[in-house]
């Protein structure tokens, strides 16, 4: 942002030298009062906008960190689900190959162990 040359205090304290054919001092003072009010308004607006900008930056940073955390958590859940599915398929294949009777009791125990691990 560009630097300002004047502040409201500078405008208020500015002294003009009277001249023979000078300006009406009251008119100059009234005009400078208007300029000062504008400067005050601009300063408030700038402060408000800077605060809003900082708030938006913080919110963006928070959103990014939440998003990265949710991606990491989502990956872990998907991996656990995939492992569980693989173990279920393996169990079914073992039943098909080696016979279902010998694995009926163990299948129930395997499901319990798998669920506890994930």
Whether the predicted pLDDT of 97 surpasses 80:
yes
Predicted confidence at residue 26, as pLDDT, reads: 85
Predicted confidence at residue 115, as pLDDT, reads: 54
Contact assessment for residue 118 and residue 84, using Cβ atoms and an 8 Å cutoff: yes
Share of the chain above pLDDT 70, in %: 75
Q: What's the average model confidence in pLDDT over 7-21?
A: 80
Predicted confidence at residue 113, as pLDDT, reads: 53
Which residue bears the tokens 């700038």? 46
SS3 33: helix
User: pLDDT-derived band of residue 11, with 50, 70 and 90 as boundaries?
Assistant: confident
pTM equals 0.45
- Which residues have CB under 8 Å from 114's CB, separation 6+? 84, 87, 88
**Helix axes of 25-98 and 104-117: crossing angle, nearest 10 degrees:** 160
Spans of all domains in the chain: 8-99
Whether the predicted pLDDT of 100 surpasses 90:
no
Q: What's the average model confidence in pLDDT over 84-93?
A: 87
Query: Token pair of 107, please?
Result: 């299948």
Which residue bears the tokens 């500078």? 10
Predicted confidence at residue 82, as pLDDT, reads: 80
- Residues 38-69: pLDDT tens digits? 889 999 999 999 999 999 999 888 887 777 77
């Amino acid at each position: 942002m560009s630097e300002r040359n004047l502040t409201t205090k500078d405008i208020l304290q500015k002294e003009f030298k009277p001249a023979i054919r000078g300006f009406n001092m009251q008119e100059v003072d009234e005009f400078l009062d208007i300029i000062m009010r504008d400067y005050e308004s601009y300063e408030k607006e700038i402060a408000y906008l800077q605060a809003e900008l900082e708030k938006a930056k913080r919110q963006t940073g928070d959103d990014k960190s939440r998003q990265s955390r949710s991606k990491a958590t989502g990956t872990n859940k998907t991996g656990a689900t995939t492992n569980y599915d693989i173990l279920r398929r393996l169990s079914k294949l073992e039943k098909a190959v080696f016979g279902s009777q010998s694995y009926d009791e163990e299948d129930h125990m395997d499901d319990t162990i798998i669920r506890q691990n994930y």
